[in-house]
Amino acid sequence: MGNFDLLMTGFGIAITPMHLMLMVCGVLMGLVVGVLPGLGAPNGVSLLIPLTFTLDPTSAIILLSSMYWGALFGGSTTSILFNIPGEPSSVATTFDGYPMAQSGQSTRALTLAFMSAGIGALMGVIVITLLAGWASNFALRFGAPEYFAVYFLAFAAFIGMGSASPAKTMVSLTVGLLLASVGMDTVTGEIRLTYGFSELLGGISFLVVVIGLFGIGELLATVQEGLRFRGVASRIHLRDVFRTIAELPRYWATTLRSGLIGIWMGITPGGPTAASFMSYGIARQASRKGAAFGTGRPEGIVAPETADHSAGTCAMLPMLALGVPSSATAAVMMGGLMIWGLTPGPMLFATKPDFVWGLIASMYISNIVGVILVLATVPLFAAMLRIPFAIIGPMIVAICFVGAYTVGSSTFDLWLVLLFGLVGYLFNKLDYPLAPLVLAMVLGHKAENAFHQSMLLSDGSLGIFFANPLVSSIMVVGLALLIVPKLLQLGARLRRPATVE
């Protein structure tokens, strides 16, 4: 039986009133979880797991995965409206989504985000449908050096070109790397940089830092200008939604490229967060209006959202076929799988075709359900911008702190949010770029681990990063992404005086 027939059987399983209802419930709960910063998809999914004991595994995974999609959608909403990333993977969406919303086009920004997210997810599912077997074999070829190369590639793609001062970029990057290395180091088993504080034992949570830097930092900037949101909340017309949808085909190149990046990062275990950063970085380099990125460019929303969702869906594949989750949420779902008595691994596709293909078919449907539901919430969220600042401001503050608290139920995190709020405000004011810090926190420690593991394997020889065609080609692409834009910049600078003379 070909994959297509299996998929049709899958649709037969997924389209029942019961399953459709589970999808709607899952997506709605996911939206709530995604909108609240801190309380992300991994939390939400793990809270639902006990409920799934009474369901059969197919229904259970449909519920959980729908919640995941809902959370991914919801995460972009707060990124765009309040500059608070509801999910780690929607940090990159703030870069252009928030400025666009501020310029009075919140409907456009939200619609762009949701539509490209939906398209990204569909691209991901199509790849899973067509290439399930091949992709999981491919993922098996990834050892420690290849992991490092993938992280390096993501770094290179994002850092390669930035308009900020190099020294300030370096400060931001190194601060992020240091924050990421606090806590237990996997490879050496040493506890690092905790200075005797038990609170730091678990490391500094990326989410807490992001909530502070972006959420509180942005509120401080708003307050500085007077107690109002800088953006004018425009009226919501359904027409705006449709007009934006009609605008989408213009960004087909960005969409396609970002979707492929997302698929690549979802299958190789880079994860959705890294995918969205990488995609944003590459879109900025590829665009002729690259310098305008960060001021509300539509491509700056399309790129991270498409990549985020295609990576999120593709991350299901290594989880099901190999038992390697490439996102935190996938890790929780895998735990669920084991509790239901299913063993993730290459045989799952053969032994439980109903489960696997039911899930894959449901991914098509629930993502479409997700787009529709989330578009329906656009007016609601955009209306929130019209609430006077004296009320909505403190509420956002409260949600930021509550969200940070739910990450690890630790009161210490409340102080961290406050601290990073001030840091975020100051860095913004002084033109320190925040993105390198965030990316370094996401990838820094993983990259270090992979590097260290590679060194253990090769007895300290760097040659291992060029030991086979796969790892060397990823490294070469990464190096090229890092160096070529600098050369182009240099070239442009050399040429300009020549034309003046």
Partner 1 sequence: MTNIKTGLLAATAVLLAAPAFAEWAPERPLEFIVASGAGGGTDNFARTIQAAITRGDVIEQPIVVLNKGGGSGAEAFLYAKQNAENPHKLIFGTNNVYLLPHVAKLAYEAKDLQPVAALALDEFLIWVKADSPYQTAMDMIEAAKAAPGTIVFGGSQSKDTDETLVALIEQTTGAEFKYVPFNGGGEVGVQLAGGHVAANVNNPNENLGQWQAGAIRPLCVFAPQRMAESAPIQGEMGWHDIPTCKEQGLDIESYQMPRTVWLPAGTPPEVLAYYEAALQKVSESQEWQDYLTKTSQSAAFLTGDALASFIAKSEGDTVKVFEAEGWSAK
Partner 2 sequence: MTVRRFHAEAATAAATGILGLIAIYGAAELGFGWEDHGPQAGYFPFYVGLLLIGASLWNLIRAFVAYRAATAEEEPFLPREQLMRICKFSAALLIFVAATLMLGIYVGTAGYITWSAWRQGGYRLPVSLGIGLGFSVALYLIFETLFRIPLLKGPIEPLLGIY
User: Minimum distance between the CB of residue 207 and partner 1, rounded to whole angstroms?
Assistant: 13
Query: With CB cut-offs between 5 and 8 Å by kind, which of partner 2, partner 1, none does residue 280 bind?
Result: none
User: Minimum distance between the CB of residue 321 and partner 1, rounded to whole angstroms?
Assistant: 9
Query: With CB cut-offs between 5 and 8 Å by kind, which of partner 2, partner 1, none does residue 186 bind?
Result: partner 1
Work out the number of other CB atoms within 10 angstroms of the CB of residue 264. Answer: 21
Q: Which residues bind partner 1 (CB under 8 A)?
A: 42-43, 45-46, 49-50, 53, 139-144, 183-191, 196, 198, 201-203, 322-325, 328, 331-336, 338-339, 341, 343-348, 351, 408-409, 449, 453, 456-457
Q: Which residue, among 282, 267, 312, 268, has the nearest Cα to 149 in the 3D structure?
A: 268
d(CA 71, CA 96): 20
487 binds partner 2 (CB under 8 A): no
What DSSP state is assigned to residue 305? H
What DSSP state is assigned to residue 249? G
Residue found under tokens 């500085």:
224
Query: With CB cut-offs between 5 and 8 Å by kind, which of partner 2, partner 1, none does residue 44 bind?
Result: partner 2
Q: Which of 430, 492, 494, 498 binds partner 2 (CB under 8 A)?
A: 430
**H or E element, residue 191:** strand 191-192
Q: What is the DSSP string of 167-188?
A: HHHHHHHHHHHHHHT-EE-TTT
In the three-class reduction of DSSP (H, G, I as helix; E, B as strand; rest coil), residue 254 is classed as helix
HEC per residue, 58-125: HHHHHHHHHHHHHHHHHHHHHHHHHCCCCCHHHHHHHHHHHHHHHHHHHHHHHHHHHHHHHHHHHHHH
494 binds partner 2 (CB under 8 A): no
In the three-class reduction of DSSP (H, G, I as helix; E, B as strand; rest coil), residue 192 is classed as strand
Residue 184 or 286: the one with the smaller Cβ distance to partner 2 is 184
What DSSP state is assigned to residue 49? G
Residues 357-416 within binding reach of partner 2 (CB under 8 A) = 388, 390-391, 393-395, 397-398, 401-402, 405-406, 409, 411, 414-415
d(CA 120, CA 260): 9
133 binds partner 2 (CB under 8 A): no
User: Minimum distance between the CB of residue 371 and partner 2, rounded to whole angstroms?
Assistant: 24
Query: With CB cut-offs between 5 and 8 Å by kind, which of partner 1, partner 2, none does residue 142 bind?
Result: partner 1
Q: Measured between alpha carbons, how far is residue 177 from residues 277, 421, 439 in Å?
A: 16, 18, 9
User: Minimum distance between the CB of residue 483 and partner 1, rounded to whole angstroms?
Assistant: 29
Interface residues with partner 2 (CB under 8 A) are 32-33, 36, 39, 43-44, 47, 165, 167-168, 170-171, 174-175, 177-178, 181, 185, 188, 190, 192-193, 195, 216, 219-220, 223-227, 388, 390-391, 393-395, 397-398, 401-402, 405-406, 409, 411, 414-415, 418, 421-422, 425-427, 429-430, 432, 448, 452, 455-456, 459-460
